[in-house]
Structure 1
Amino acid sequence: MGFNERIGIGSLALLPKDHLYDFVDQLMEEFVVVGPVAKGSEFVFSEIRDPEQVRLDYETTILPPKKVLHRPFQTLFSFREDGGITEEERINKRQVLFGVHPCDVHAISILDKAYGSEYPDPYYMAHREQTLIIALNCTQVGKNCFCHSLDTGPSLKEGYDLLLTDLGCSYLVEVGSESGTGIVERTGLALAPRVKMVEKEKRLDNARKKFRKRLLTQGLHELLEENFRHPIWEELIKSCLACGSCTMVCPTCFCYNVVDKIDLSLKSGRRQREWDSCMLLEYAQVALGHNFRRDRDARIKQRIYHKLLYYEPQFGTLGCVGCGRCISACVKKIDITEIIVRMRGE
């Protein structure tokens, strides 16, 4: 086996770029593979039907891979007038999330805590337990990315089964789990010498120099606590449409609503949960019409404060991973990094 007689966690391998499609094809024989594909000028995570669909040269995707684990629409069970209830079948085939960027892997680790801790969510966990992650370090940087500020990119230290880094003519493959070890063994990847890690770090250092946005986290909690009534909130009321786009594309938002959908015959239906957003007017509305966050500034504050202040005591990390999707999705170009800059008086 060359440089190492045994493949294990921490081993290195090389995947030549001209063998990428063959590698994906081998994965498809064993797993459902979900990876980045082109959609017009943008990219989305989608089930791979043809290995040549895979695009690892993407900057970011419209929606995060969260959608594979926490479905935008999830039927919980169906029901009939006669009292019959049919529970939705859970996923029963293993799947691979392929080409996931470090920020999105960090986001999945947050979802794991939110949905898998004291009261595990059976629907999320059913998907998560069947999912392997083949991550991809970022050697190119999107215009709205600021993951380097939050230590959630462009490189990754944990949370993956395999980790790829673009070295030019090949991908360096790092093994992060026993499942990843099995994939390397079954696909016959050649092992790589440790010196390849030097080349990897050079490419990642070059990527770190390309970031155009940053979010300074030093003293962030105190800053937010002291600026709850900062004039910027009044300015944002005039700009924000409260459409919820920022939360729909966020990889760490996990709120949902549960609704009953009745068919036109009124004899059957289904109970469904669907993504919800704290930015929407009806989100905090309760019985008899009272709304705890009727005012738009209250909803804007809730989003920002939840990401940058409220998450950490609960999950031990900020709720923002610096992917920049909320900035890209906002038609009014509201920028979370600029909000903090304004608060700091910079």
Structure 2
Amino acid sequence: MAKESSHAVHAAGAHRVVVIVDENSNPFELGCATEIFGLRRPETGRDLYDFRLCSPEPRTLMRDGFFTLTGVAGLEAADAADTLIVPNRPDTDVPRRPAVLDAVRRAHARGARLVGFCSGAFTLAEAGVLDGRRATAHWQWADSFRARFPSVHLESDVLFVDDGDILTAAGSTAALDLGLHMVRRDYGAEIANSVSRRLVFAAHRDGGQRQFVERPMPDLPDESLAPVLAWAQERLDSPLTVSDLAARAAVSPATLHRRFRAQLGTTPLTWLTGERLALACRLIERGESRFEVVARRSGIGTAANLRTLMRRETGISPSAYKARFGPQTNG
């Protein structure tokens, strides 16, 4: 069962994110963590995270010997992490160092948030912290993972899983999706959107979306969903339906559904609901305290619908979201 934890930023400083880098770690996911948590964001008016890399050895040979990482902290830095990102690597059958697994267990025992990108789920499972928990990993390792760790509830066809104090991503760009989700959890939708704009990356893809799509790019330019998505985002306060989206795209609802699945890995209704919730969160962060107004302007309808949707998707009520991310905490 997931532990309840807000992982709020410490009053004395920014939230401490530490990445453990071990032999044969993947550079891509390390780069994702650095982009999300390691760069200064002066446009937000605050330092979001205190970011550090650490390793059990002074010199760490990265995946396939691409380069050697030096000059990072020792493994003891993991003991100061509020969020600990564990190592991942392609050789999942090779056991992790006992010292790394012990660092993961200590972090979990003291309530730190644990994150595994791609094959990092294997590290978490080896440490024993995923028993009875939900997780994901790259689809190509799903059978191997289930065979080795049958007590873990693996969801093999989603982008990422947020199980409270343990979060896992499927790999590749899903690491960016999970990282932005974490920023949204920590600082709200407005700052997450600011970070995503700097990355030139989608601000919000729900964790339940599929790991891969049928076509990364449409075969024909006129099959792109971009125009209808932009049209809908400007009209979220209207009572839009899937049929409305299909009519705008000049296709049948069934064809629209297939294109959403192929290009975005989700359904039109799920996408529309996610966009409306993101708008509702931004309105609350900007100071709108009348939840019936937030619900109406975001197309969610009623304050009751807003409460239900926010609790389901963020785990907290609109009032709690306002207290955490409203103007009085952003100043």
Larger radius of gyration: 1
TM-score clears 0.5: no
- Structure number with greater CO (CA < 8 Å, separation at least 6) is 1
| TM-score normalized by the length of structure 1 | 0.26
The structure where strand makes up a greater share of residues is 1
The structure where helix makes up a greater share of residues is 2
